[in-house]
Chains A and B, each alone.
Chain A
């Protein structure tokens, strides 16, 4: 049995060190992962309809800030070549899918950058059979932010679970080894952008479907980065803060989202330590929670 992490380790704030020791890796200092959190008060209208123009603007500003560029199209041109075959891995969960407005914003910039429309596909459950995904040279990872009964949180890392041949293989120990999804042949080395839609995130779940609209709020944000672990780490801070605000300190953690820290310390996929994340906050700051 690997070193067991107990509640007491969390109370001591020593989980990062315990995990590192458990796996036998020294804790290393790595370059900071840059993540952009952008929010806009008009991303949704008064009826919670998505404003596509504002969402496009948010995506553009986020990628420019992420890569220190002055044009969204040039930024996409640096990330994608005209001959790239691009799978946009989205999420179709009925209760909280990726907004089509955000999917279109990504697709629009890909075509602006020169990628042929016929070489772009947006998919979720069918990615393993989708011909574009099967021959893809690049991926964009986009999904909404929500809590998840088993993993604690569904962020960018969890979004790749439909690439798995057998999804339950990734469920043991609260989905602790989701990072392994990024080593699958269809995925490995292809992800150019991770975009976590926090326009209407869900901070708590109820019932068999783990959904209740009471726990969805209009945060009006998007989190963008190249490091999926860092994207999920930032998102977890927001979810935790919202849970403290709405449910109280004792219910701060959404289940047991240990996969994030394990992705960092055990699998080396990215950065989970907030001290090693360069978080750039753009736009609307009201009730930002982080």
Chain B
């Protein structure tokens, strides 16, 4: 990472880097991210290097380069909040209102400013391109994504995660970790278009072994929809359907399906 960082420019347009960069690791990340550290720690985050660039008007551009240990983890932390248009930097990117986020290989990069957007946007994008160019390889996305049925999949609404906290932030399931998620479980949560107004959601969780998957499946049914212990499906209070099944070491759950058959077909299409 040091080699990478040394190749990042110390000046971008009229913004010059401060003399000293900052480094935070798993133990010190709390000192840097107010409220956001937990999310990074649910992934295999190693360290972040922070470089602050100061402009002529003293406005600041802050570059964060997060070493996430692997490309799947870098993809994960990027995917969890993706909602803007891709601006073509790295392996996936987005820009909006003074914030650029992208991932490439095992790195997740954030560039943010509080300065005037008109003047800072070109510098932010140029800095982003420079960082992406300095990362000279690419890495694969999580293999779990390949299990997602493609029909009606919203490709910009795929989240890869390991913890129930970000999952709850996207789709609240329960106050406790009823699916027993941890750093060893890989999850993908994806949105599927039902019609012009409605979406359904598919959650795939890969456990270390089949027994763990079966236990999690049973716990989910017991706590979330006890009326479905035998059938594995239930109609919710909003009239939508939830269905949960196991497939080897995987638990697969559909939420907000318009009807039982729709849910069943989606689960059957999981490869």
Contact = CB atoms under 8 A, between A and B. Distances in A.
Interface in B110-126: 110, 112, 114
A116 interface: no
A167 B97 CA distance: 31
Interface in A1-55: 1-2, 4-8, 10-12
Interface string A174-199: 10100000000000000000000000
B224 to A, nearest CB: 6
A7 B173 contact: yes
A110 interface: no
A154 B35 contact: yes
A10 to B, nearest CB: 7
B26 to A, nearest CB: 12
Interface in B165-218: 165, 168-169, 171-176, 178, 199
Interface centre among B34, B97, B169 (most CB of A within 10 A): B34
Contact of B236 (A8, A93, A151): A8
A231 interface: no
B47 to A, nearest CB: 13
Interface stretch (B14-22, B36-44, B245-253, B260-268): B36-44
Interface residues of B, number: 38
Interface string B25-56: 00000100111101110000000100000000
A167 B30 contact: yes
A149 B175 contact: no
Contact of A206 (B99, B171, B173, B223): B99
Interface stretch (A99-107, A129-137, A209-217): A209-217
Given A95-B114, A149-B39, A208-B110, A8 B224 contact: yes
A12 B237 contact: yes
A214 B36 contact: no
A173 interface: yes
A59 B193 CA distance: 48
A206 B174 contact: no
A128 interface: no
A176 B199 CA distance: 30
A151 B34 CA distance: 11
Contacts of A2: 176
Interface centre among A5, A7, A11 (most CB of B within 10 A): A7
A: interface residue count bin: 35 or more
A interface, over-half SS: loop
Given A11-B238, A150-B165, A207 B81 contact: yes
Contacts of A148: 35
Nearest to A256: B168
Contact of B176 (A10, A149, A173, A214): A173
29 contacts: A4-B223, A6-B173, A7-B171, A7-B173, A8-B224, A12-B237, A93-B34, A95-B114, A148-B35, A149-B39, A149-B169, A150-B39, A151-B35, A154-B35, A174-B168, A206-B99, A208-B40, A208-B48, A208-B64, A209-B34, A209-B36, A209-B110, A211-B99, A212-B99, A213-B97, A213-B114, A255-B168, A256-B169, A256-B175
Please list the 8 inter-chain residue pairs (A to B) with the smallest Cβ-Cβ separation, ordered nearest first: A214-B97, A11-B237, A5-B175, A6-B174, A148-B35, A4-B176, A255-B169, A7-B172
Interface of A: 1-2, 4-8, 10-12, 93, 95, 148-151, 154, 167-168, 171, 173-174, 176, 206-214, 250, 253, 255-256, 258
